[in-house]
Amino acid sequence: MKIKLILLLMLFGVFAFGQKMPSDYFDEAGDYFEEGQLDKALAGYMYIVKKHPGNKLYPRAVHNVGYIYFLQKKYKKSIDFYTILLNGGQNEREALGGGIMDDPYTNYKHRAAEQISECYYELHKYDSALYYLALSDTVYPFISDCGNAYASNDIQTALRYADIYLKLGQKYKAIEKLLPEIFNTELANNSEIISKLEWLLAGKTNLLKELDKSIDNVYLKTVTSTYRSYQRYCIEYMGVEVVYPEGFNSQEYNEEGVKNRMRQSEFYKMIERIN
């Protein structure tokens, strides 16, 4: 599993130099990190953690200490520092910085729970990895203003769930987590979802027949998000409800249009191929 935190680290080092203020240590640590000098980077971030717990850079420094320990395979130490963020009161919507397509917010607790999950995964403690991934997905969900970012996060989270469930020997649970993302294509690339399902579903029979039946029985449902409710077409396939996103083709977002697009999807083509 891969969690995109290296970019987060680099984007953190955007503060101006001063007279050896905490921001100076932070920027120097960022430079050391980019140069691959992890011990020196760690020392810079740790200085802020130990000497300036009230500084605005404190949660960023804690995060970066946890991430460097992760890179050094010191997973238990990494968990300790990410746990500080899980228990902290930092602003989850603090501006992260970066370009228009980058995550706008720090999402400290969401990222911390994700990375603790990754630590436990590396320690082969898959039940704990699953617990913290679920925590990042439900209690501390990803926050963004960008539909692309949400779509990408949904895909990556589904892949992480699937990977952990496979380690736990629960193949159907892995499939169950991947299926909701089979039509998530307009705002993100879901090719890895399709490839993983192609491998997981190989050898199963009647998949195309069942998929055609599900598409024929498409239904409209009210879907509620954090901010609003809206109407979406759905199918039930292999016991899993799959919502078809409206995307950019709202004029085609009717029953026949959705059925046609489902049958033109890469998922449908993959099922045709393996059946």
**HEC secondary structure over the chain:** CCCCCHHHHHHHCCCCCCCCCHHHHHHHHHHHHHCCCHHHHHHHHHHHHHHCCCCCCHHHHHHHHHHHHHHCCCHHHHHHHHHHHHCCCCCCCCECCCCCCCCCECCHHHHHHHHHHHHHHHCCCHHHHHHHHHHHHHCCCCCCCCHHHHHHHHHHHHHHHHHHHHHCCCHHHHHHHHHHHCCCCCCCCCHHHHHHHHHHHCCCCCHHHHHHHHHHCCEEEEEECCCCEEEEEEEEECCEEEEECCCCCHHHCCHHHHHHHHHCCHHHHHHHHHC
Least confident of 68-72, 76-80, 184-188: 184-188
Residue 225 has pLDDT above 80, yes or no: no
Q: Looking at residue 237, what is its pLDDT? A: 98
The pLDDT of residue 12 is: 45
Model pLDDT, residue 173: 98
What is the pTM (predicted TM-score) of this model?
0.89
Q: In the prediction, which pLDDT does 190 show?
A: 96
Q: Taking all residues of the chain, what is their mean pLDDT, rounded to a whole number?
A: 90
For residue 15, is pLDDT > 90? no
Mean pLDDT value of segment 142-164: 93
Could you give the domains of the chain?
6-145 (1.25.40.10)
Q: Is the pLDDT of residue 109 over 90?
A: yes
